[in-house]
Structure formats: structure tokens, C-alpha cells
């Protein structure tokens, strides 16, 4: 666990974008053997947004970025760094961040991607806040963006019901008069479980061949039940310890932003930590699991509807392929 020291860092603005096309559970039940009832009961998901043909991760990232820059009142030329959290880059290289930097005309900014499963959002926010706190950067655009739909096997009911496309973004900068600040972050990984969520094909370990395509190695593969057990075992004690090390008890946190992977996981974790359900942000019903974008979308929606009160504490937490997990606390 580490406290942010140095220059206090605040949230200057946020934005989001999700594709227009919606895929309902009933739509899915016409593709694979499943039902609206099964998906709702087991995951809480009702709909997910799916990118249109030609809509890439860089496309959704740019739209969310423009909304966040607008909200923050920051011109692209004022950015020092652009970080994109994604597991579905348009191409292995270049990354999405340099493409977005070019699309925005952010001529003074560096750009790089963070790819660490669904925890990428927490990792990238922590890196951005740490970079500003140290004085290395002043204004950083952090985007979580995913177009996972081309990476999903739409005949595999174990995975295709879970994921959705979309993007969210935040602009971070040094705290100004009366603004909040990031308090602490804890970034973890258990790489012994790296086989639980994978997309193995088409890169170094399994270069693309007719065989890898036949065996569908170019799609997301997941041991859903193992992930479910790992998360239920790991996340509640992790969050209790992380809050404690940051000087808080779980009740001190005003708003809990869990990675929107499965409503049952979120509710079970909240229950074990004694968190009141009205402090838990839930939007999985509408978007499904948007991986690295999920926390940014949840935050952007939240801030569109609510004004943070001075001193309120927000905790963001996620887990995902790696298996990575982590948390970051912000005080308004």
C-alpha cells in the first residue's frame, strides 16, 4: 500500500461514450442456449452496448476523451500524458494511446497503454496520480476503453453473455483551491493464476495459424467458476486490509466503485464488508462487463447525476486477467 505524497492530485473532469447498438439478453438467447432469466440471476446483466462495424477502441476512447476534456475545461494541447487502459487495442502496436493523441491533436503529450486485465483502470489511475504527485506531469488524460466484441466467441455462452463495449475517461491535475485529492493506492497480482482469463492466440506463444484459428485461440477464454471463487476469496479481505492500511474502516468510504463484472460478486463483497447497498455503484445491468472501461463509465455516470460533497471518500477496486487486482481511494 502506498500513500500519494508530494503534489495533491485531483479529478478535474470525466466523460464517457458507449456505442449506440444494444444487445439484450433475449437477443443473446437467439444466438446461444441461454435465457434472460439465467443471465440476470447469475450476473445482473440485462443489456450491453456493442460497437458498430468500423468502431474501434481508439474511436470510443476518443469520444470519451473529448467529453472528459470538455468537462474539465482542458484543451488537448495542455495535456502532458495520455494513458489508455485497454485489453482490446486496435492493434498490438501501435497502442491506442498514441492513436488517440494523434486524433485529439494533443501535440505536447506522451502516450502509452496499460494492459493488465480489468484492473487496468485502477493501475492507470494510480500511475497517472503518482506521475502528477511527483511533479513529472501536470495534466493527464486517463481513458479506459474496450471494444471486446470482436474478441468474443459468440457461440460460447460462458463468455459471450458477460462483456460489453464502451469507454470512460478522466482528466487529472494538481489540486486547486478546495478540490479533492487521491489518498492511496494498492496494486496487486497473483500471476500463478494467469491461466484463468486469457486470449492466447495470434501473438508470441501461439502465432496465428489455421490451427490456432480452428481452435479459437483468438477469442477470450475464461474459467468462469475459478475466477468467481478467486475473486470471492481474495477481494473482501484485500479491501478490508487496504482500507485499514489507508486509515479507514469500510464504513468510512462513502461511495464504492467495484469493477462491474458480476452483480453477485459485488453484492457478496459488500455484504462481507458490511457496506450499505446504497453506497455501492451498480450499472452492470446496462453495460455488462466493459473490462478496463468499467470504473470510468461508472464514475462518469455517477458524476453526471451527483455532486460530490467535500470530504466524501470514493474507493475504486477491480480484478481481472493476470490475476491482477487493486484499489485506489480518492477524497473529494
- Please spell the DSSP secondary structure of 47-90, one letter per residue: EEE-PPTT--HHHHHHHHHHHHHHHHT--GGG-SEEEEE-SS-S
The closest of 3, 9, 290 to 128, measured between CA atoms, is 9
Of 218 and 223, which has the nearer Cβ to ligand COA? 223
As a whole number of angstroms, the distance between CA 39 and CA 225 comes to 15
Of 35 and 205, which has the nearer Cβ to ligand COA? 35
Footprint on this chain of ligand COA (rule: CB under 6 A): 34, 38-39, 42-43, 118, 157-158, 161, 197, 222, 224-225, 227-228, 261-262, 289, 319-320
Measured in degrees and rounded to the nearest 5, phi and psi for residue 78 equal -85, -5
Least separation, in Å, of the C-beta of 120 and ligand COA?
Answer: 10
Of 132 and 323, which has the nearer Cβ to ligand COA? 323
Least separation, in Å, of the C-beta of 220 and ligand COA?
Answer: 9
Of 262 and 269, which has the nearer Cβ to ligand COA? 262
Of 159 and 246, which has the nearer Cβ to ligand COA? 159
Least separation, in Å, of the C-beta of 282 and ligand COA?
Answer: 14
Q: Are strands 22-24 and 47-49 parallel, antiparallel or unpaired?
A: antiparallel
Least separation, in Å, of the C-beta of 324 and ligand COA?
Answer: 9
All three cell numbers of 3, joined, read 500513500
Is position 118 annotated as part of the catalytic site? yes
- Catalytic entry in 118, 160, 243, 262: 118
As a whole number of angstroms, the distance between CA 307 and CA 101 comes to 30
Least separation, in Å, of the C-beta of 142 and ligand COA?
Answer: 19
- Catalytic entry in 87, 160, 259, 262: 259
What residues does 110 pair with on adjacent strands? Answer: 81
Sign of CA dihedral 12, 17, 23, 24: positive
As a whole number of angstroms, the distance between CA 59 and CA 166 comes to 10
Task: Work out the angle at residue 262's Cα, subtended by the Cα atoms of residues 165 and 227, and round it to the nearest 5 degrees.
Answer: 100
Measured in degrees and rounded to the nearest 5, phi and psi for residue 110 equal -80, 175
Is position 160 annotated as part of the catalytic site? no
Task: List residues with catalytic annotation.
Answer: 118, 259, 289
Amino acid at each position: 500500500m502506498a500513500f500519494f505524497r508530494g503534489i495533491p492530485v485531483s479529478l478535474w473532469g470525466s466523460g464517457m461514450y458507449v456505442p449506440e447498438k444494444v444487445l439484450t439478453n433475449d437477443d443473446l438467447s437467439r444466438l446461444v442456449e441461454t435465457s434472460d432469466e439465467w443471465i440476470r440471476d447469475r450476473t445482473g446483466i440485462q443489456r450491453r452496448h456493442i460497437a458498430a462495424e468500423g468502431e474501434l477502441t481508439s474511436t470510443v476512447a476518443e469520444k470519451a476523451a473529448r467529453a472528459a476534456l470538455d468537462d474539465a475545461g482542458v484543451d488537448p494541447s495542455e495535456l502532458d500524458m495520455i494513458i489508455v487502459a485497454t485489453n482490446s487495442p486496435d492493434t498490438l502496436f501501435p497502442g491506442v494511446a498514441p492513436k488517440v493523441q494523434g486524433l485529439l491533436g494533443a501535440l505536447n503529450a506522451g502516450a502509452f497503454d496499460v494492459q493488465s486485465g480489468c484492473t487496468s483502470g485502477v493501475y492507470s489511475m494510480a500511475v497517472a496520480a503518482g506521475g502528477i504527485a511527483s511533479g513529472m506531469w501536470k495534466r493527464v488524460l486517463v481513458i479506459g476503453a474496450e471494444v471486446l466484441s470482436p474478441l468474443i466467441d459468440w457461440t460460447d455462452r460462458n463468455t459471450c453473455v458477460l462483456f460489453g463495449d464502451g469507454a470512460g475517461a478522466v482528466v487529472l491535475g494538481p489540486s486547486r483551491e478546495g478540490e479533492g485529492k487521491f489518498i492511496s493506492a494498492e496494486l496487486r497480482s497473483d500471476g500463478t493464476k494467469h491461466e484463468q482469463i486469457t486470449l492466447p492466440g495470434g501473438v508470441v506463444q501461439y502465432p496465428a495459424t489455421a490451427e490456432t484459428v480452428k481452435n479459437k485461440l483468438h477469442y477470450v477464454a475464461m474459467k468462469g467458476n475459478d475466477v468467481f471463487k478467486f475473486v470471492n476469496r481474495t477481494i473482501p479481505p484485500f479491501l478490508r486490509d487496504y482500507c485499514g492500511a489507508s486509515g479507514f474502516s469500510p464504513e468510512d468510504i462513502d461511495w464504492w466503485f467495484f469493477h462491474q463484472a458480476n452483480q453477485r460478486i459485488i453484492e457478496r463483497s459488500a455484504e462481507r464488508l458490511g457496506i450499505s447497498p446504497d453506497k455501492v455503484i451498480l450499472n452492470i445491468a446496462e453495460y455488462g462487463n466493459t473490462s478496463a472501461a468499467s470504473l470510468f463509465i461508472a464514475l462518469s455516470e455517477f458524476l453526471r447525476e451527483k455532486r460530490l460533497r467535500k470530504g466524501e471518500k470514493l474507493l475504486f477496486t477491480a480484478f481481472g486477467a493476470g490475476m491482477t487486482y487493486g484499489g485506489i481511494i480518492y477524497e473529494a
